[in-house]
C-alpha cells in the first residue's frame, strides 16, 4: 500500500509558483541509474554508452561509491546532496557551492537518517561517510560525475528541460493548475474544491497519508530528464517542490521507424520534440542552428509545424496535421 500526499493550494499560489532546472539534480539522477538504484528504462542506450566511464570514475573517486550507498529507492535521501535550484539557468558550480556550504553537523544528521533502518554499508564506505570532510568528498564525486559523464549530454538534456518549462509554465499561467498538472504524471492529479483545490500525489512508499498547505508560497516545479519518477519535497530543507519527468524524454532516443521513413529521421525527431525553439532543437539534434532551421522551414512549408513568438525566440509546435501524422490518425 502506498500513501497519498495532499497539497492544498489557493489562487495566490499560482502567481507564487516557479520553475527551475538543476544540473546537480540531473547528475544525481545519472548516478541513480548507473549505480542500479533506479531502472534505466528508456535511458538504456544512454546507460550503456556511459557505463565504462562510470566504472572508471567509481574506481578512481571513492566518494562515488559512498554517495551511491546513500541512494534508497522510496526512502529518505540526504537533502544536502541536492539543494533546491535557484532558477532556470543556474550553473552547477553555484549548486555545488551551496552543497559545500552545508554544516558538518547537518550533513551527519542527514546521513544518519538516510542510513537508518538499512543494512550498514561496508567499512570502506563508512570510512568516507565518517570523514570530517565528507561534504566535500561527496561534492567532489558529483563534480567529477558532471565533468566526465553528464556535461557531455547537458546541451540536449537542458533543451528538453527548457522546453518543458516553457510548456508547463505557460499552461499554469494561462489555464491554471488542472492544465499544468494534466500530463505531469499518472501519480499527480488536480482536485478542484470550490475556489481553491488541492494537488494529490500518490507515492509507492508505505506510511501515513500527508496533508500540506502552500499558504501563498507557491510550488517549485523541477523537471528532470533522468529522474525515475515524481518526488515531492515537503520538508523545511526545501521549498515545497515537485520533481517530475520532463515531457518527451523517450523521443530523444529513437523516432518511430514509419515516421522516419516518411519524412526522414531528423525531421521526425523535430516533429516529436516540439514544442521547442530552433536553438533548443539544434541542441537536441547535435546540429548547427542553420541546419536545424532548414529542417524546421521544410516542416513549416509542409504544414506540420507552426511558430509562435515568445520573447526573442520563436516556439515551434505541431499543427493538427502534424499531430495526426505522429499519432497515426
Answer whether 64's CB lies under 8 Å from 141's CB: yes
Does the pLDDT of residue 171 top 80, yes or no? yes
Cα distance between residue 107 and residue 88, in whole Å: 26
pTM: 0.80
Q: What is the mean pLDDT of the chain?
A: 89
Judge whether residue 148 has pLDDT over 80. Answer: yes
d(C-alpha 142, C-alpha 301), whole Å: 45
Does position 57 have pLDDT exceeding 90, yes or no?
yes
Which pLDDT tens digit goes with each residue over 82-104?
A: 888 888 889 999 999 999 999 99
pLDDT tens digits for range 280-307 = 899 888 889 999 999 999 999 888 999 8
255: cell is 523516432
E strand intervals along the chain: 3-9, 18-19, 188-193, 196-203, 210-213, 220-224, 231-233, 241-245, 305-310, 313-318
Q: Where are the domains of the chain?
A: 3-20+156-245, 23-153, 254-327
DSSP helix, strand, coil percent of the chain (3-state; round to 5): 50, 15, 30
Task: Give the pLDDT mean for 43-58.
Answer: 94
Q: Which cell numbers hold the place of 137?
A: 568528498
pLDDT tens-digit map of 262-286: 788 889 888 888 888 999 899 888 8
Nearest to 29 by CA among 20, 38, 18: 38
CATH, range 254-327:
1.10.10.10
Confidence of residue 60 (pLDDT cuts 50, 70, 90): very high
Per-residue pLDDT, 327: 64
Share of the chain above pLDDT 70, in %: 94
What is the per-residue pLDDT across 216-237, written as a single tens digit (0 to 9) for each?
A: 989 999 999 999 888 888 877 6
Least confident stretch, 123-132, 145-154, 188-197, 213-222:
188-197
Amino acid at each position: 500500500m502506498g500513501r497519498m500526499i495532499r497539497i492544498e493550494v489557493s489562487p495566490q499560489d499560482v502567481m507564487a509558483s516557479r520553475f527551475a532546472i538543476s544540473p546537480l539534480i540531473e547528475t544525481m539522477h545519472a548516478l541513480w541509474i548507473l549505480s542500479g538504484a533506479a531502472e534505466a528504462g528508456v535511458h538504456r542506450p544512454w546507460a550503456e554508452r556511459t557505463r565504462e566511464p562510470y566504472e572508471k570514475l567509481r574506481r578512481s573517486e571513492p566518494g562515488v561509491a559512498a554517495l551511491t550507498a546513500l541512494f534508497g529507492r522510496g526512502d529518505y535521501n540526504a537533502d544536502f546532496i541536492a539543494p533546491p535550484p535557484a532558477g532556470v539557468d543556474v550553473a552547477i558550480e553555484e549548486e555545488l557551492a551551496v552543497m559545500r556550504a552545508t554544516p558538518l553537523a547537518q550533513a551527519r544528521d542527514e546521513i544518519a537518517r538516510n542510513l537508518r533502518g538499512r543494512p550498514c554499508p561496508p567499512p570502506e564506505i563508512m570510512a568516507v561517510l565518517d570523514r570530517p570532510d565528507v561534504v566535500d568528498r561527496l561534492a567532489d564525486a558529483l563534480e567529477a560525475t558532471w565533468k566526465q559523464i553528464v556535461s557531455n549530454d547537458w546541451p540536449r538534456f537542458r533543451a528538453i528541460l527548457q522546453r518543458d518549462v516553457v510548456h508547463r509554465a505557460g499552461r499554469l499561467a494561462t489555464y491554471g493548475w488542472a492544465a499544468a498538472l494534466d500530463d505531469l504524471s499518472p501519480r499527480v492529479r488536480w482536485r478542484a474544491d470550490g475556489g481553491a483545490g488541492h494537488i494529490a500525489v500518490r507515492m509507492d512508499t508505505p506510511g501515513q497519508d500527508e496533508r500540506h498547505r502552500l499558504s501563498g508560497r507557491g510550488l517549485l516545479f523541477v523537471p528532470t530528464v533522468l529522474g525515475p519518477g515524481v518526488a515531492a519535497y515537503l520538508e523545511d530543507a526545501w521549498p515545497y517542490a515537485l520533481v517530475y519527468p520532463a515531457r518527451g524524454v523517450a523521443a530523444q532516443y529513437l523516432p518511430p521507424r514509419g515516421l522516419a521513413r516518411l519524412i526522414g529521421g531528423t525531421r521526425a525527431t523535430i516533429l516529436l520534440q516540439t514544442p521547442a525553439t530552433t536553438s533548443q532543437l539544434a541542441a537536441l539534434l547535435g546540429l548547427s542552428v542553420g541546419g536545424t532551421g532548414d529542417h524546421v522551414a521544410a516542416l513549416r512549408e509542409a504544414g506540420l509545424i507552426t511558430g509562435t513568438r515568445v520573447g526573442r525566440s520563436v516556439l515551434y509546435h505541431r499543427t493538427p496535421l502534424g499531430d495526426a501524422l505522429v499519432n497515426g490518425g
